A and B are shown apart, each in its own frame.
Chain A
Amino acid sequence: MTAPRADADGSPDRGTRYRRKLLVLLSSATFFEGYDNFVLAFVLALVLGDLGGSESDAGWIRAVTLLGAIPAFLLSAQADRIGRKRLLLITILGYTIAAALTAGAPNLAWLTGSQFLAQVFLGAEWAVAITIVVEEFPRRHRGRALGIVTSMNTLGGIFVGVLAFAGLASTPLGWRAFYVVALLPLILIAIGRRGLRETERFEAVRDDARSARLDHTSLLEPWRPEFRTAVLAVGLVTFFRFFGVSAGAFWWAYYAQQEVGMSVSTSGLYLAAAGLVGAAGFIVGGRLMDRIGRKRAFLLYLAGALVFGTWTFQVTDELLMLPVLCAGIFFSLGSVAMTSAFSTEPFPTYVRSRASAWCRNAFEIPGGVLGALVVGSLGDHVDGPVGSIGDAMSLVTIATLPAAMLVAWRFVPETNGEDMVAMDEGAVAQEARA
Chain B
Amino acid sequence: MRRCIVLAVAVAALAACDAADRPEGTVERWLVSLNQGAAGRPDRFAAEALSDELLPGWDEREPGDLDLIEVGRAVPTQDGDRVPFRIVTTEGEVIRGWATTQDGTVVAVERPEDPSEIRVPSDGGARPPGAGGGAWLLAIALGVVVAALAFAVVGVIDRRATRRSPA
User: Which residues in A have some Cβ–Cβ distance to B below 8 Å?
Assistant: 45, 48-49, 54-55, 225-226, 228-229, 232-233, 236, 240, 257-265, 316, 318, 380-388, 390-392, 394-396, 398-403, 405-407, 410-411, 430, 433-434
Whole-angstrom distance between the alpha carbons of A402 and B150 in the complex? 10
CB nearest neighbor in B for A235? B154
The answer on a CB contact under 8 Å between B154 and A261 is no
Interface residues of B in 98-146 (CB under 8 A from A): 104, 120-122, 127-131, 135-136, 138-140, 142-144, 146
Q: Shortest distance in angstroms between A355's beta carbon and chain B's nearest beta carbon?
A: 14
Known A260-B121, A265-B67, A390-B130; further 9 A-B contacts with Cβ < 8 A: A225-B166, A229-B154, A232-B154, A240-B150, A316-B122, A382-B29, A384-B19, A386-B131, A400-B146
Chain A residues with CB below 8 A from B17, complex form: 385
CB nearest neighbor in A for B72? A261
Chain A residues with CB below 8 A from B28, complex form: 258, 381
**Given A382-B21, A382-B22, A228 and B161 contact (CB-CB distance below 8 Å):** yes
Whole-angstrom distance between the alpha carbons of A262 and B67 in the complex? 9
Q: Would you call B64 an interface residue if the criterion is a C-beta within 8 Å of the partner chain's C-beta atoms? A: yes
Q: Which of A49, A229, A259 lies in contact with B158, CB distance below 8 A?
A: A229
- The listed residue with most A CB atoms (<10 A of its CB), out of B70, B154, B162, is B154
Chain A residues with CB below 8 A from B51, complex form: none
Chain A residues with CB below 8 A from B166, complex form: 225-226, 430, 433-434
Closest 10 pairs between A and B when the two form their complex, measured CB to CB:
A388-B130, A381-B25, A382-B25, A261-B122, A391-B131, A391-B130, A395-B139, A403-B147, A225-B165, A225-B164
Task: Describe A's contact surface by its main secondary structure.
Answer: helix
Chain B residues with CB below 8 A from A380, complex form: 25
The answer on a CB contact under 8 Å between A236 and B150 is yes
Whole-angstrom distance between the alpha carbons of A387 and B73 in the complex? 12
CB nearest neighbor in A for B39? A54
**Given A225-B161, A229-B154, A395 and B131 contact (CB-CB distance below 8 Å):** yes
Q: Which of A55, A386, A388, A398 lies in contact with B143, CB distance below 8 A?
A: A398
CB nearest neighbor in B for A223? B161
- The listed residue with most B CB atoms (<10 A of its CB), out of A257, A258, A405, is A258
The answer on a CB contact under 8 Å between B128 and A407 is no
Q: Would you call B8 an interface residue if the criterion is a C-beta within 8 Å of the partner chain's C-beta atoms? A: no
Q: List 23 A-B contacts (CB under 8 A).
A: A225-B160, A226-B161, A226-B166, A229-B157, A258-B69, A261-B68, A261-B120, A318-B122, A381-B29, A382-B22, A382-B26, A382-B104, A383-B22, A385-B135, A386-B131, A387-B19, A395-B139, A398-B136, A399-B139, A402-B146, A403-B146, A430-B166, A433-B166
Interface size class of B (residues with CB under 8 A): 35 or more
**Given A262-B68, A395-B136, A398-B139, A406 and B150 contact (CB-CB distance below 8 Å):** yes
Q: Would you call B24 an interface residue if the criterion is a C-beta within 8 Å of the partner chain's C-beta atoms? A: yes
**Given A316-B127, A385-B19, A45 and B154 contact (CB-CB distance below 8 Å):** no
Whole-angstrom distance between the alpha carbons of A392 and B19 in the complex? 13
Q: Which of B26, B29, B104, B154 lies in contact with A407, CB distance below 8 A?
A: B154
Q: Would you call B82 an interface residue if the criterion is a C-beta within 8 Å of the partner chain's C-beta atoms? A: no
Chain B residues with CB below 8 A from A54, complex form: 39
Whole-angstrom distance between the alpha carbons of A74 and B150 in the complex? 26
Whole-angstrom distance between the alpha carbons of A193 and B158 in the complex? 42
Whole-angstrom distance between the alpha carbons of A8 and B29 in the complex? 63
The answer on a CB contact under 8 Å between B130 and A258 is no
Q: Would you call B16 an interface residue if the criterion is a C-beta within 8 Å of the partner chain's C-beta atoms? A: yes
Q: Shortest distance in angstroms between A22's beta carbon and chain B's nearest beta carbon?
A: 34
The answer on a CB contact under 8 Å between B165 and A264 is no
Chain A residues with CB below 8 A from B154, complex form: 229, 232-233, 236, 407, 410-411
The answer on a CB contact under 8 Å between B130 and A398 is no
Whole-angstrom distance between the alpha carbons of A240 and B120 in the complex? 35
Whole-angstrom distance between the alpha carbons of A403 and B140 in the complex? 11
CB nearest neighbor in B for A400? B146
Chain A residues with CB below 8 A from B16, complex form: 385-386
